């Protein structure tokens, strides 16, 4: 499925959110995080900026706390 949002973090982590509301963080094709997230307004015209900020914070917190 084609993501409605995607980003690359530190040139290492691929971050995506699918229309189904599934957020994934992968590194070298290995899934590190998979979590259901909300999509405001059904993301009809793309993701809401507040959703994106929440996803980014969630991803950063996860990556920062890896290995702790």
Q: What digits encode the pLDDT tens for the residues 28-38?
A: 999 999 999 98
Whole-model pTM over 0.95: no
Q: What is the mean pLDDT of residues 19-26?
A: 94
User: pLDDT band for position 67 (50/70/90)?
Assistant: low
| pLDDT tens digits along 41-61 | 766 777 889 999 999 999 999
Angle value at C-alpha 55, between 58 and 33, nearest 5 degrees: 60
Q: How distant, in Å, are the alpha carbons of 29, 30, 34, 49, 50 from that of 54?
A: 23, 23, 15, 9, 6
């Amino acid at each position: 499925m084609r993501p409605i949002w995607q980003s690359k973090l530190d040139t290492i982590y691929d971050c995506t959110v699918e229309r189904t509301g599934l957020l994934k963080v992968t590194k070298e094709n290995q899934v590190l995080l998979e979590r259901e997230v909300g999509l405001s307004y059904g993301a009809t015209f793309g993701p809401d900026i507040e959703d994106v900020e929440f996803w980014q914070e969630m991803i950063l917190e996860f990556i920062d706390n890896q290995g702790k």
